[in-house]
Amino acid sequence: MTARRVLVLNGPNLGRLGSREPDVYGSTSYAGLVERCTALGAELGFDVEVRETNDEGELVRWLHEAADGRVPVVLNPGAFTHYSYAMRDAAAQRTAPLIEVHLSNPYAREEFRHTSVVAAVATGTLAGFGIGSYALALRALAEEVSG
């Protein structure tokens, strides 16, 4: 059986995991995140590709690619969560499940982080479990695509 393709898309500053505010985002490096996502994905029957960009337009193009290919997505929009209507509109075009993830709990942080323009168009949102948010999202995708 061929593994189902899944994109794990990360917005700005996620490539700095491990060195960026470890008290908020944890000590796992971006390479560690990639390793964990691809390994768990393989266990779940997924071919996971993890990407990161600081460029809003590139993230929008990746969401279009996922929509065109009916590819499930785990999306950590980073700061784009709070204001990128272009990314939100691209996510709204999804043709497969899309799970929004956050390492920290945005509602336990600064007020501007309490708004997600993506949440209303996502299948669901997982936040506050550190790197575990990605594992929970991949498991939720496995449930979504098998049902």
Catalytic positions, written as ranges: 25, 102
User: What is the three-class DSSP state of 87?
Assistant: helix
Any bridge partners for residue 99, and if so which?
74, 124
The stretches of the chain forming alpha helices (DSSP H) are 22-25, 30-43, 56-69, 85-92, 132-146
User: What is the three-class DSSP state of 82?
Assistant: helix
Show the tokens assigned to 66.
Answer: 């996922």
The dihedral through the CA atoms of 39, 53, 146, 102 has a sign that is: positive
Q: Are strands 4-10 and 46-52 parallel, antiparallel or unpaired?
A: parallel
Torsion of CA 44, 48, 53, 58, to 10 degrees: -120
